[in-house]
Structure 1
Amino acid sequence: MIELPTYAAADIRAAEFPPGVDSFNYRSLIPGLEGTAWEPAFTKIALLAWVAVAVIILFFLVSYRNPQLVPTKRQWLAESVYGLARDNVARDIIGHKGVRFAPYLATLFVFILLTNLWGIVPFAQISPNSHIAFPIVLALSSWLLYVGVGIRKHGFLGYIKASCWVSGAPLWVQPILVPIEFVSNLLLRPVTLAVRLFANMFAGHMILLVFTLGGVALLNAESVFLKPVALLSWAMAILMTFFELGILILQAYVFTLLTATYLQSSLADEH
């Protein structure tokens, strides 16, 4: 298996092995685990995820260690992030009951944003969310939360009815609508949450790989006419990096916003 650890590495192998799914596979950082079932346990992807968790915890602990009436820059940044989740997502989407979900929504947003940002940080240059396992865990966490909230409010059968029964629709149409609503509201929501985040991060990393390693391939081509095109390929890589920055911020916000929307639907009296 050919390992291409970062899209910025000027590796001559890129001229012979174009980027593909193998570009997302990393060997274990712990010697002796190669070829075993434990090899994926601590790869570069896992390390980036753990570093993101550590950075988030340390940042908020340090920012709120000595809170002041006139906030410092760190405190202001932490309060702004939490305020975004509390005021612009929880309260706007869920209502006054949504404030209690603000800590989860803020944590979700910051974690996804930071793990997405690894995709454009030098020497990291890959997002853990480009591996489907991470988006699946995040989506399942949100799914368990809003389903649990709905069951707690309506009861198990009441929540199933509230999620599947379309109020106001004719009775003869309900046998058609109920299965559709069941699949859409209870089964597909976590799938779409996970796939949307994964697909965007996977595609973004692949595009950056194509342009950067494509420049390497063109630079090492035998034809002298192709060498100047390598500069154009690298220029496109830089341009797409800025584009990817906007996409990764948007995806973190969309994931958090949809989670709040699903929480609101679980708390609603009628659907």
Structure 2
Amino acid sequence: METGHGEEGGWHTPSLEDFEFVGGFGGPDWVNKPFIQAVLAAVIVIVLWLLASRRLKVVPGKLQFLNEYFYNFIRNGVALEVLGQHDFRRYVPYLVGLFSFIWVNNLMGLFPLLMFPTFSNIGYAWGLVILTYVIYNVAGVARHGMKYFKNSLLPAGVPWPLWFVIIPIEFLSNFVIRPLTLGLRLFGNLLAGHLVVLVFVTGGAYLLFQADGVINKVAGGASLVFSFAIFALELLVSSLQAYIFTVLTAQYVASSLAEDH
């Protein structure tokens, strides 16, 4: 592989291929690393919540307490807070499942044998976006009928001369920008963070073990040490992005159910 200096066998600029399993999985092209991780994460989430719902006690043990903490974190801190007392219950299962699925997938990207979050493949981020997009629009139609689309495009009280300006803006805002930014935020943060980690690890290893000169050796060692700090930051980002995606989903549902629609 070519290096940044045009030489063979040196350091190369990290890319997505560096995260792939060598040799692949065989079979169809879509049976790849992100697909395996997504399926595995779904199984993990389902099994964990099924186990968490069994043999519940009035006085919880440590495991039940931990499960209830995560459940109440989404139920009370997101669903109830954003959707309100009247509407939150029907959306709690989706929000809990959504947060759990994203979070487990993001954490899997921190394991040495994986090191590539599922949603760094943008197609999987779009899959969740489409699901959320359908849910909050269907919720709006179910609550307000077809008037939902009219009120989404034309807020009450807008003078008719401004309709030709307001309608395109509201259409882009509610039906294009929302899902677009929702997916790009999840994808961009996870991909960028892991590429930064890879740059520091591979660049540091090259300077430390292959480059000549004391300064290069010191810089390489510092780069490897600093990569641990970035790795810890990625742990925070992985959790934060799962939370942000879930909160925004709840907010979009809440806006669809709001009386002004």
Q: Same fold (TM over 0.5)?
A: yes
* Correspondence for 1:57: 46
How far 1:242 moved relative to its partner? Answer: 1.1
State the TM-score, normalized to the length of structure 1. 0.87
CA distance 1:14–1:196, shift in 2 (3 Å): farther
List per-residue Cα deviations over 1:26-60 (Å, max 9, x = no partner): 466434x4xxxx2232x222222222111111111
1:18 aligned partner: 13
- TM-score for both structures, normalised by structure 2: 0.91
Q: Residue by residue, what CA displacement relative to the aligned partner does 1:155-212 show, whole Å, maximum 9, x if unpaired?
A: 22x1111211122333322221111101110122111110000000110110000000
- Partners of 1:14 and 1:136 in 2: CA distance: 37
Q: How does 1:5-44 map to 2 (within 5 A)?
A: 15-26=10-21, 29-31=24-26, 33=27, 38-41=28-31, 43-44=32-33
The answer to whether 1:93 aligns with 2:82 is yes
Partner amino acid, structure 2, of 1:231: G
From 150, 154, 158, give the equivalent of 1:161: 150
**Partner amino acid for 2:163?**
Q
- Partner SS state of residue 40, structure 1: coil
1:10 alignment counterpart: none
Partner of 2:127: 137
Moved more, 87-96 or 197-206: 87-96
Deviations 1:7-35 (A, max 9, x none): xxxxxx9833220233344466434x4xx
Is the partner of 1:39 in helix, strand or coil?
coil
Aligned mates of 1:109, 1:183 — CA distance in 2: 26
* Contact 2:20–2:33, Cα closer than 8 Å, also in 1: no
1:62-90 deviations in Å (ceiling 9; x for gaps): 12111111112222222222212211111
Measured on the aligned residues, the alpha-carbon RMSD in Å equals: 2.0
- Counterpart-to-counterpart distance in 1, 2:77 and 2:33: 34
Q: In structure 2, what is the Cα distance between the partners aligned to 1:27 and 1:266?
A: 45
Cα distance in 2, alignment partners of residues 63 and 250 from structure 1 = 23
Which of 193, 200, 207 does residue 196 from structure 2 map onto? 207
Question: For residues 123 and 14 of structure 2, what CA distance do their matches in structure 1 show?
Answer: 21
SS across alignment from 2:18: helix
Q: Distance in 1 between matches of 2:174 and 2:20?
A: 33
- Whether 2:192 is the aligned partner of 1:197: answer no
Could you tell me how far apart the structure 2 residues matched to 1:218 and 1:107 are? 44
CA contact (8 A) 1:163 1:186 kept: no
Q: Unaligned regions of 5+ residues in structure 1, if any?
A: 3-12
Distance 1:89 1:219, change over 3 A: same
Question: % of aligned pairs identical?
Answer: 34
Structure 2 CA distance for aligned equivalents of residues 14 and 58 of structure 1: 45
Give the 3 Å change call, closer, same or farther, for CA 47–249 of structure 1 in structure 2. Answer: same
Query: For the structure 1 residues 189 and 27, does the alpha-carbon distance in structure 2 shift closer, same or farther, using more than 3 Å as the test?
Result: farther
Is 1:104 the counterpart of 2:94? The answer is yes
Would you say the 8 A contact 1:15–1:213 is kept in 2?
no
Q: How many residues align?
A: 254
What's the CA shift string for 1:98-126, capped at 9, x where partnerless? 22100100110111111111222232211
